[in-house]
């Protein structure tokens, strides 16, 4: 049992990627037994050999049926599919089911339809790494990072407290909010930036077809602005497809802001351009000072 009071007799983690493997490492001392569920034999073997999990299987039913806590750490569309199709009937009564998918509305809606007696809550830890996969697992991945919790119709007060104590055991910072609000927030700070980064790289690549100098001269500014375009496409298009409405809304709002800057630029209204850039610059600097890496200083 950890200092947070969190414990599990049998923890099951579905999906042993970076996130799932890191959860297993971070909760190693709080769980009597950890079972990992993953379709990849190589991943299962690695996780067993390194002691990341005690048992490993590719069978969802077998993996979760004895668990008192199940964490779904699979891609976001797979999580929703598991919730809709099968997993409710595999679980023991009173099991706590938590997911860590990057969008929450779809998943929390699906959780609401689980059998009565299953406790379920949506989660989204705001953390990650450049490298992915079980080999990148890191027990400190969640430390000091925000961990969003979204209540569902299947979240009892006791289930909520258990999820909070697990987050404490991870060393993460819990932030509770409705699923819809979560999805609007991540559309702004994560999904819109990804689309902008990709459209920027596509624009530069078009120019690069006829002038290699764009690639030669691109430096630190382009490096930062293009990094997100290098993210895993399957993961990102999965995430985007479960947050279409919020992302489309943010794109419309973004176009307004960009058009305002463009109008001042084209009309050579330098004074208003500088004036309107000022609060933006200050907002960025204030955020960076308050929340470096997303955690309040």
**Is the C-alpha dihedral spanning 117, 66, 11, 87 positive or negative?**
negative
Q: Of the two residues 29 and 241, which places its CB atom closer to a second copy in the complex?
A: 241
Q: Is 29 in the site for a second copy (CB under 8 A)?
A: no
What does the DSSP 8-state code read for residue 92? P
Q: Is 175 in the site for a second copy (CB under 8 A)?
A: yes
Q: Report the C-alpha gap between 285 and 187 in whole angstroms.
A: 21
Q: Is 284 in the site for a second copy (CB under 8 A)?
A: yes
Q: Of the two residues 112 and 263, which places its CB atom closer to a second copy in the complex?
A: 263
By CB under 8 A, which span of 26-34, 63-71, 105-113, 202-210 interacts with a second copy? 202-210
Pairing of strands 146-150, 119-125: antiparallel
Q: Is 219 in the site for a second copy (CB under 8 A)?
A: yes
Q: Report the C-alpha gap between 141 and 134 in whole angstroms.
A: 13
97 closest CA partner among 126, 77, 67, 75? 67
Q: Is 194 in the site for a second copy (CB under 8 A)?
A: yes
Q: Of the two residues 32 and 262, which places its CB atom closer to a second copy in the complex?
A: 262
Q: Report the C-alpha gap between 143 and 287 in whole angstroms.
A: 20
What does the DSSP 8-state code read for residue 100? -
81 closest CA partner among 57, 111, 102, 61? 111
Q: Report the C-alpha gap between 238 and 77 in whole angstroms.
A: 6
Q: Which of residues 254-273 bind a second copy (CB under 8 A)?
A: 254, 257-258, 260-262, 265-266, 268, 270, 273
Q: C-beta of 14: minimal distance to a second copy in Å?
A: 23
Backbone angles phi and psi of 220, in degrees to 5: -60, -40
Q: C-beta of 104: minimal distance to a second copy in Å?
A: 12
The residue assigned the tokens 């493997």 is 21
Q: Is 1 in the site for a second copy (CB under 8 A)?
A: no
By CB under 8 A, which span of 30-38, 81-89, 93-101, 143-151 interacts with a second copy? 143-151
Q: Is 247 in the site for a second copy (CB under 8 A)?
A: yes
Binding-site member from 26, 126, 141, 166 for a second copy (CB under 8 A): 126
Binding-site member from 32, 45, 59, 211 for a second copy (CB under 8 A): 211
């Amino acid at each position: 049992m950890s200092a947070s009071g969190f414990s599990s007799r049998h923890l099951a983690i579905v999906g042993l990627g970076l996130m799932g493997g890191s959860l297993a490492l971070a909760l190693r001392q709080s769980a009597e037994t950890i079972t990992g569920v993953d379709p990849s034999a190589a991943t299962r073997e690695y996780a067993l050999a390194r002691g990341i999990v005690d048992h490993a299987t590719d069978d969802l039913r077998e993996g979760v049926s004895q668990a008192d806590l199940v964490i779904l750490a699979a891609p976001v569309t797979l999580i929703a599919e598991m919730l809709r199709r099968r997993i409710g009937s595999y679980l023991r009564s009173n099991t706590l089911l938590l997911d860590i998918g990057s969008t929450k509305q779809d998943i929390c809606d699906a959780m609401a339809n689980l059998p009565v007696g299953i406790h379920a809550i949506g989660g989204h830890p705001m953390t990650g790494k450049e490298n992915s996969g079980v080999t990148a697992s890191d027990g400190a991945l969640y430390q000091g990072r925000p961990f969003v919790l979204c209540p569902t119709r299947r979240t009892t007060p006791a289930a909520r407290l258990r999820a909070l104590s697990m987050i404490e055991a991870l060393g993460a910072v819990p932030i509770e909010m409705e699923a819809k609000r979560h999805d609007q927030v991540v559309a702004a700070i994560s999904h819109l930036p990804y689309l902008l980064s990709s459209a920027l790289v596509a624009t530069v690549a078009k120019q690069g077809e006829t002038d290699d100098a764009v690639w030669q001269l691109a430096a630190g500014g382009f490096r930062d602005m293009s990094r997100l375009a290098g993210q895993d496409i399957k993961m990102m298009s999965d995430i985007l497809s479960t947050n279409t409405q919020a992302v489309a809304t943010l794109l419309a709002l973004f176009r307004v802001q960009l058009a305002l800057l463009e109008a001042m630029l084209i009309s050579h209204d330098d004074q208003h351009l500088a004036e309107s850039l000022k609060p933006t610059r200050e907002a960025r600097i204030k955020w960076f000072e308050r929340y470096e890496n997303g955690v309040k200083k």
